[in-house]
C-alpha cells in the first residue's frame, strides 16, 4: 500500500510540536481526511517534509499510538488504527461537547414514541389551547398536576402555593425580582449555577459568596455573611449541587434554616436534580415552607425542550411571584405546560426519568473506570467535578482539549470570587456512551502525561 502524502497543519497550533502533530492526526482522522487503514508517511519522510528533527516525529507517532490513533505493522509501516482495536479509538475532535449539562440520550424507541405521541393527545384541548392566553403561573389543571409532582419532595403542598414558570431561569428571575432591589446583597454558594449569576447581573444584585466543603454550603459561613452584610436572600442548590455534585446532609439543612430564620433571610432553593437521586434528604421547602421558594425545573429530569419549572412559594406570596412572571415572561407556553402535565399524568414522565437515570449510571461507570483522578460525582447526576492533578491547570486543560474539539467548563464560570483548579464534565451532552468513552480516554491520556506539561506554552 502506498503511503499517503499526509502533512499536518501546525501553523496555528500551540504547545510542543510533537503534541501538535498528534492532535492534527486526531483531527484529520475525525474529519475523514485520514481513513481507517490509511498508511502514514515514514517518520523520516515526515520529518524532512516538515523541516523538523526526526526524534520529534518519532515522539509524535508514539503519542498518537498511546491514544489509540495509529498502529505499526512489522515490515509494512504505520497505519491509522481500525476501530476494532482492543482499546476504543478516540472520539473524532470537533463533535464532543461536555460543556452543556444535558440529560443523556437513552435508547428506547417505544418510550421515545410515547413521548412524541403525547403531542397528539393535546388536540383534545381544542383551539383554546392554541388561540388563548392563560393566566401567569399556569391554569389550575396544570398547577394541580404540578402539585402532585412537587408533593414527592414537599409533602402536603397545595395548588394555591404552586406556580408554573418558563424554566428555572424564568422562575428564578421572577422570585429574585420580588425579593430584591438593585444593589441588594444576595448570598450563594461560592461555586454556583451560571444561570443564577446571569440573573443576578441583570437585576444588578451584589453577590456574597458562602464557603463550601465536601458536604456543600457551610451554615457557619452563611451566618458570618448575615452578620456582616445583611443579605436580602440566599440562593442555593442543596441536592446534587451544580457544579460540584455535593448534597447537603439533613442536619446541615436544619442548621441553615435556623440561621435563615434568625436573620429573616428567605431562601431560594434550586431543586433541579433531586428527583434523579433516590433517598435524598428532605428539601428545604419541606422543612421550612414559610421561608423557602422552591424551584423544580423539568429540564434535567425530563426534557430541556419543555422549558417548564414548577415553583412552590410560601403561603400568601403566590400573587407576587405570579405578577413577576407576568412582567418578565407573560406566561409559560401553554403547549409545553400541557405536554408536561400529560407526561406526568400518564406515567411517561416517570419512565423518562428512569431511563435518564439508567443511562446516567452507565456513563458514570465509564468515568469511574477510565479517569483515575480526583473526581466528585453522585449516582443519578450526569455532571462530574474534576480537581486538577498537578502540574495541570484548568486553563491549560480547557485550552488543550478545545484545540482538538472537546469542550469542558473551567471553574471560573461558576465562581463568585476566586476559582479553584477544577473543571466540570457534563456526561449527558455526548450523543452516545461510545462517544463519551472516546472523549474520556483522550482526557485520561492528557492528564496521565502530567510531567510533559510542566513547561507547556499556552
Q: Give every CB contact of residue 331 below 8 A, 6+ residues apart in sequence.
A: 133, 134, 135, 136, 138, 325
Residue 134 main-chain phi, psi, to 5 deg? -110, 165
CATH number for the domain whose boundaries are 17-80: 1.10.10.10
Enumerate the CATH 1.10.10.10 domain ranges in the chain, comma separated: 17-80
Enumerate the CATH 3.40.640.10 domain ranges in the chain, comma separated: 109-346
**Residue 282 to residues 74, 144, 248, 275, 368, Cα–Cα distance (Å):** 63, 21, 10, 12, 28
- Fold of the domain spanning 109-346: 3.40.640
C-alpha dihedral over 444, 448, 452, 455, to 10 degrees? 80
**Residue 379 to residues 208, 224, 357, Cα–Cα distance (Å):** 30, 32, 8
In terms of Cα–Cα distance, which of 336, 358, 308 is closest to 111? 358
Please tell me the predicted confidence (pLDDT) of residue 84: 40
Please tell me the predicted confidence (pLDDT) of residue 450: 55
Report the run of H or E that residue 97 belongs to, with start and end: strand 96-97
In terms of Cα–Cα distance, which of 290, 309, 291, 289 is closest to 299? 309
- Fold of the domain spanning 96-108+350-453: 3.90.1150
Strand-strand pairing, 70-73 and 77-80? antiparallel
Q: Cell 428555572: give the residue.
A: 168
Whether the bond between 93 and the residue before it is cis, its omega within 30 degrees of 0, is no
Sequential pLDDT tens for the chain (458 residues) = 556 678 887 766 667 888 888 888 888 887 778 888 888 888 888 888 888 887 788 888 877 877 778 877 656 778 888 654 334 544 444 558 899 999 999 999 999 999 999 998 898 888 888 888 888 999 999 999 999 999 999 999 999 999 999 999 999 999 999 999 999 999 999 999 999 999 999 999 999 999 999 999 999 999 999 999 999 999 999 999 999 999 999 999 999 999 999 999 999 999 999 999 988 999 999 999 999 999 999 999 999 999 999 999 999 999 999 999 999 888 899 999 999 999 999 999 999 999 999 999 999 999 998 998 999 999 999 999 999 998 899 999 998 888 888 999 999 999 998 999 999 999 999 988 888 998 998 899 888 875 344 433 33
- Chain-centroid distance, C-alpha 123: 34
Enumerate the CATH 3.90.1150.10 domain ranges in the chain, comma separated: 96-108+350-453
Q: Give every CB contact of residue 66 below 8 A, 6+ residues apart in sequence.
A: 445
Separation of alpha carbons 191 and 243, rounded Å = 7
Please tell me the predicted confidence (pLDDT) of residue 81: 80
Whether the bond between 338 and the residue before it is cis, its omega within 30 degrees of 0, is no
Residue 296 main-chain phi, psi, to 5 deg? -120, 95
Strands (DSSP E) along 238-344, which ranges?
Answer: 267-270, 292-297, 309-312
**Which set of grid coordinates corresponds to residue 405?**
474539539
Amino acid at each position: 500500500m502506498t503511503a499517503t502524502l499526509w502533512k499536518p497543519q501546525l501553523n496555528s497550533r500551540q504547545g510542543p510540536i510533537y503534541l501538535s502533530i498528534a492532535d492534527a492526526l486526531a483531527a484529520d482522522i475525525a474529519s475523514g481526511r485520514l481513513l481507517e487503514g490509511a498508511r502514514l508517511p515514514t517518520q523520516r519522510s515526515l520529518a524532512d517534509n516538515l523541516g523538523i528533527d526526526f526524534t520529534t516525529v518519532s515522539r509524535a507517532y508514539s503519542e498518537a499510538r498511546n491514544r489509540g490513533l495509529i498502529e505499526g505493522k512489522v515490515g509494512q509501516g504505520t497505519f491509522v488504527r481500525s476501530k476494532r482495536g482492543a482499546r476504543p479509538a478516540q472520539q473524532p475532535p470537533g463533535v464532543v461537547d461536555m460543556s452543556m449539562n444535558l440529560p443523556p440520550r437513552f435508547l428506547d424507541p417505544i418510550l421515545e414514541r410515547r413521548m412524541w405521541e403525547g403531542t397528539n393527545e393535546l388536540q383534545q384541548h381544542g383551539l383554546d389551547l392554541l388561540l388563548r392566553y392563560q393566566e401567569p403561573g399556569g391554569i389550575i389543571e396544570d398547577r394541580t398536576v404540578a402539585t402532585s409532582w412537587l408533593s414527592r419532595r414537599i409533602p402536603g403542598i397545595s395548588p394555591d402555593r404552586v406556580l408554573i414558570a418558563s424554566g428555572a431561569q424564568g422562575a428564578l428571575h421572577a422570585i429574585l425580582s420580588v425579593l430584591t432591589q438593585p444593589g441588594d446583597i444576595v448570598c450563594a454558594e461560592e461555586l454556583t449555577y451560571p444561570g443564577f449569576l446571569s440573573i443576578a447581573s441583570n437585576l444588578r444584585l451584589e453577590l456574597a459568596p458562602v464557603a463550601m466543603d465536601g458536604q456543600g454550603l457551610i451554615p457557619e459561613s452563611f451566618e458570618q455573611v448575615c452578620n456582616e452584610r445583611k443579605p436580602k436572600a440566599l440562593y442555593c442548590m442543596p441536592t446534587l449541587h451544580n457544579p460540584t455534585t455535593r448534597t447537603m446532609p439533613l442536619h446541615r439543612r436544619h442548621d441553615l434554616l435556623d440561621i435563615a430564620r434568625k436573620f429573616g433571610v428567605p431562601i431560594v432553593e434550586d431543586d433541579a436534580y433531586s428527583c434523579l437521586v433516590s433517598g435524598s434528604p428532605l428539601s428545604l421547602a419541606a422543612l421550612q415552607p414559610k421561608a423557602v421558594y422552591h424551584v423544580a425545573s423539568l429540564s434535567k429530569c425530563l426534557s430541556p425542550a419543555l422549558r417548564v419549572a414548577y415553583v412552590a412559594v410560601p403561603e400568601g406570596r403566590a400573587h407576587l411571584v405570579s405578577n413577576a412572571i407576568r412582567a418578565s415572561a407573560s406566561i409559560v407556553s401553554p403547549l409545553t405546560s400541557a405536554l408536561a402535565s400529560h407526561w406526568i399524568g400518564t406515567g411517561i414522565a416517570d419512565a423518562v426519568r428512569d431511563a435518564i437515570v439508567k443511562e446516567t449510571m452507565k456513563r458514570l461507570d465509564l468515568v469511574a473506570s477510565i479517569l483515575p483522578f480526583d473526581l466528585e460525582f453522585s449516582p443519578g447526576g450526569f455532571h462530574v467535578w474534576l480537581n486538577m492533578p498537578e502540574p495541570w491547570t484548568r486553563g491549560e486543560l480547557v485550552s488543550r482539549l478545545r484545540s482538538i474539539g472537546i469542550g469542558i467548563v473551567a471553574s471560573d464560570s461558576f465562581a463568585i470570587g476566586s476559582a479553584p483548579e477544577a473543571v466540570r464534565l457534563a456526561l449527558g451532552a455526548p450523543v452516545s456512551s461510545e462517544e463519551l468513552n472516546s472523549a474520556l480516554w483522550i482526557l485520561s491520556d492528557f492528564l496521565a502525561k502530567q510531567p510533559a506539561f510542566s513547561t507547556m506554552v499556552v
